[in-house]
Amino acid sequence: MAIFKFAESILNGDSVSVFNSSKPLGRDFTYVTDVVSGIVSALDYVPHRCGEIFNLGHGETVRVDQVLKLLEEALNKTAKLVSGERESEKVFELHVSVLWISLVM
């Protein structure tokens, strides 16, 4: 979702807010068909314990500034970056491991 919002903002000449720009954050960008595949696979899974959780992700963290640079190159436009800090919620590095399963019981 973020990639599409970034691309739309760049194409429209709107500014893109970048949080914690002094230390670029990473995200695990996951393609929708990978999530659907994970859900379908989970339907066939026989649980060992009640309450197992599947945390689906691509498994590779990509920095947001790298994504923006790739979009700029692909769209042949420069993003108007605005640096800021979020007040309403914490911004943190997100790492997701493919096939990582944790138990909540």
Q: CATH 3.30.70: does it fit domain 2-85+94-103?
A: no
Going by pLDDT thresholds of 50, 70 and 90, the confidence category of residue 72 is very high
Q: pLDDT of 78-101, one tens digit each?
A: 999 988 665 545 555 555 544 444
Whole-model pTM: value is 0.62
- The domain locations on the chain are 2-85+94-103
Rounded Cα–Cα distance for residues 2 and 67 (Å): 10
CA nearest neighbour of 99 among 49, 50, 30 = 30
Q: pLDDT of 12-71, one tens digit each?
A: 999 998 876 566 677 777 788 888 888 888 888 877 777 777 777 777 788 888 999 999
